[in-house]
Structure 1
């Protein structure tokens, strides 16, 4: 990249940070302060437990359904803990606010040496359809073409459709959804739009978003923010936003929180904002949140009743200290935090039931010696125990 382009890139990053700080709303008087307390926790999956062919349960997905159930999903890795290799998509379901759970069911079986990545789960509230978008052959170890598949359920997660290949619409460029959840816009612009964001591969890296304006029937690419250097293998210090999570704020904008894969600028999260329904993520709305330190891992964010929540392993280099933070000004400042688990902890996913705005659910990777020992669900009372 030419020297002038590098200077302009840094200028826009700095300007975006200042713009975000100065334009963020102040705490509204009608926002009720939270005082989160972890009130319940239970083991959802235990790795190495000899359950069929499964060796490791990783990469949690969590959502609430239109009927008020909770769905927990993950990648059930058959033979090893590595990202590559065949997997099942495992699922459990709760109809009593997380008190009890159905036995594990395996929704998909990739039967492939390279395997799939679990991807993103999202709900179309208008049609009451639950979707999971996942990629097959994300790592190109033993296959050459990546394929995006979409499955859906219209009966509260009890049964699922056959996988539908949407690469016929968007191409076979490596796009790894999430992992986490996609969103449906509730506000203008593009009210009702489905948005699923993800990342590229080791070469063509960066953030990419897929958009659907017809309830998941057709898809196209929307906003992107490419890694630098473009189309080259990255190294330490390069700019490479990776695994990410979108959400919609009360002004209709999309807030995207991304993993900072090669620690450009800091060991912290990359924040982007879109005001056109994820059609674009301009540089003037991109900054680095140095409070949200990270060891390069999936993180989750959630918004409810004027409060933005964020969960990740809060450490610069190690996957430990699974922490919940909260903000009253859309992430400009962070009011406080709750240490959920001080030991080994990795990826996390959050959700909330529409009929219960007083509790937040976090499904996360947890262990005593390693973060991949189990997937555990913690129920957090937002206004005290």
Structure 2
């Protein structure tokens, strides 16, 4: 099936070598806000990177001019995690680090905290036309012993149902130092997932659940076969939160999931493998369509390569999955989902003819409503 599509970001244009890490939300006015990392001098994950934004007033058919929302001098401002509040305010969580602070160096403990991953927050009260200066919230959002750190990437949540309605929940991930005799020169990959929570519309933040192997703050220590990373969150109709994460631990199971029934404070059980979502090691997105609608997941469906972007759906809260739409057979990587209207969702995703990172493309995809 051919879907209506547009290309808000194309590598090698508008002053940027590469655009990566898409995130999209629908403002209260109906405008779409498509965020990305604008990587200035290379496609690498570190260096001079800005958070950029394009807005659409026609459901993603056309896009306005590029806006630079956040800079960090010559360093990195990245991992956009936006959320639209019931007030209409748009919050944008993000992470900053020095240009030479690569993920490997940070994980090995070779970057001073001031240059490492630090958490910042901005807001807009005019649907993304203008933005507040970034405000640092690292002391509320990151434990001192955590090394690598990332918000999202992809949209965050304001809970709408149940006793925790109004709470903000931002899925995030972290790494911890090695606790065994691992070679100090190796790159430890002690990945853990956690949530950032706010009950005052983003004025203050705290850490909710954590799920990792070696951390005393953890409310639930997960099995060694699971190392959650780059988590997506979706609120289910009963107010519980479904969490789906990239799994860095086991080659056989590249997705893991969990559920929280107390607004992200704790997990019902630790993350566990989700074998029904085959794919490579990559970020994905989750979105529940509400009421009797399905839970959706977007991500590449090829078992090994970042390719074959697909939309999969679940009618049982993520226990079983089926393919709802195969978006395309091309290379594809990161993605984010947004509800457009009753009949369609928007998918903002990395893709290209020969590389998954040639464009960030937007597609409008019809959804099936229950009869």
| TM-score of the superposed pair, with normalisation by structure 1 | 0.82
2:227 is the counterpart of 1:240: yes
Change (3 A) 1:366 1:230: farther
2:126 is the counterpart of 1:155: yes
The Cα shift of 1:343 comes to 1.4
Alignment of 1:211-226 (within 5 A): 211-226=197-212
What SS does structure 2 have at the residue aligned with 1:200?
strand
Q: Distance in 2 between matches of 1:69 and 1:329?
A: 31
Give the one of 77, 88, 94 matched to 1:116. Answer: 77
2:145 is the counterpart of 1:182: no
Change (3 A) 1:238 1:290: closer
Change (3 A) 1:57 1:196: same
2:288 is the counterpart of 1:288: no
In the alignment, structure 2 segments of 5+ residues that lack a partner are 176-187, 218-223
Give the one of 345, 348, 359 matched to 1:363. Answer: 348
What SS does structure 2 have at the residue aligned with 1:168?
helix
| TM-score of the superposed pair, with normalisation by structure 2 | 0.85
Give the one of 227, 234, 240 matched to 1:253. Answer: 240
**Residue in 2 aligned with 1:40?**
4
2:258 is the counterpart of 1:278: no
Deviations, residues 174-201 of structure 1 (Å, cap 9, x unaligned): 4311111111111123211000011113
Give the one of 171, 175, 193 matched to 1:197. Answer: 171
Q: Distance in 2 between matches of 1:246 and 1:144?
A: 31
The Cα shift of 1:79 comes to 1.1
Alignment of 1:1-385 (within 5 A): 38-49=2-13, 51-52=14-15, 54-113=16-75, 115-125=76-86, 127-137=87-97, 139=103, 140=105, 143-145=111-113, 146-171=117-142, 173=146, 174-201=148-175, 205-227=191-213, 238-263=225-250, 266-283=252-269, 286-305=271-290, 306-353=293-340, 356-383=341-368
The Cα shift of 1:162 comes to 0.1
What SS does structure 2 have at the residue aligned with 1:257?
strand
Deviations, residues 101-135 of structure 1 (Å, cap 9, x unaligned): 1011111121234x23223111111x211011111
Is the 2:300–2:306 Cα contact (8 Å) retained in structure 1?
A: yes
How many corresponding residue pairs? 335
The Cα shift of 1:94 comes to 0.7
In the alignment, structure 1 segments of 5+ residues that lack a partner are 1-36, 232-236
Q: C-alpha root-mean-square deviation of aligned residues, in Å? A: 2.2
Deviations, residues 66-116 of structure 1 (Å, cap 9, x unaligned): 111100010001111111111111100011212221011111121234x23
What SS does structure 1 have at the residue aligned with 2:231?
strand
For CA contacts below 8 A with separation 6 or more, give which structure has more relative contact order. 1
Q: Distance in 1 between matches of 2:280 and 2:307?
A: 9
